[in-house]
Structures are given as C-alpha cells and as structure tokens.
Amino acid sequence: MKMQRTVTLASKGFIFLSAISLLSVSIMAFANPQSVMDLVNVQLNNNDAFSSIRGVYGGVGMTLFFSLFYLMLFDTQKGLLFLSLLWGFYALSRTITIFAEGALGDFGNQWLITESVFFILAFVLALANRKPATTNKAV
C-alpha cells in the first residue's frame, strides 16, 4: 500500500516536472523567440520565423503544459504514457539526426541523454503505476 502511494507521488511529481520544463520554454518563446533559438545558435531573421517559434515552442508548449497538468490531476497513467511518447520521440529525433547529419554538439548530446532518461523514467513509472487487471469469473 505504501509502495503504491510512493509510485503515485513519484508519477505525479515527474509529470509536474515535465510540465514545468515545457512551460518554461513556452514562456521564453512567447516573450522572446530569439532566446529559444539562441540555445542552438540560430538567428531568426524575419517575422514569420519569430511567429513560427512562438507557435511551436510557445503555443504548442503551452498546450502540452495544460494537457500534462490535467493528466497529472485526473489520469496519471495516461500522463505517463504520453510522456513516454513525448520524451521517446524527442530522443529518437536526435538519434535520427546523428545518423542523417552527423554528431550532435554539446547541447544536443546533453538533451539526448536527458530525454532518454526521461523516456525510461516515464515508461518505468507507467509500468509501476498500472492497475492490476480484473478478471470476470462466471458464477
């Protein structure tokens, strides 16, 4: 019983941490899209570029934040499964880049490790958090 409570709290905490990390980038993108792109040494040189970064990192990030917050409160298991997909596909995208374009820099390598660890953590918590299957026995 105590173990299940620990798993539940860890699961909600992990969803919250993920949501807050996405929220921080989202706020940064809304306030100053160039600051997000400065992390990867890319210059935005037209209004469409600024608009796109605000939309993808700001708008989509905010949508992810609110979705994760809702799932943390009302369906932790789906939140963990969603984060398994999110962090797993982030890591996969960076891995594809390594094979398609070559080695990542320090930023990309650090985030590949972080996203891989977050994927594993979300997946392990999802496994630990699942409800036992019920069986319907005929009487």
Chain segment 24-72, per-residue pLDDT in tens: 999 999 999 999 999 999 999 999 999 999 999 999 999 999 999 999 9
Which residues make Cβ contacts (< 8 Å) with residue 83, sequence separation at least 6? 14, 15, 18, 68, 118, 122
| pTM for this prediction | 0.90
Task: Count CA atoms closer than 13 A to 102's CA, side-chain side.
Answer: 1
At 121 the pLDDT is: 98
DSSP state of 41: T
Closest by Cα among 125, 109, 121 to 76: 125
At 1 the pLDDT is: 75
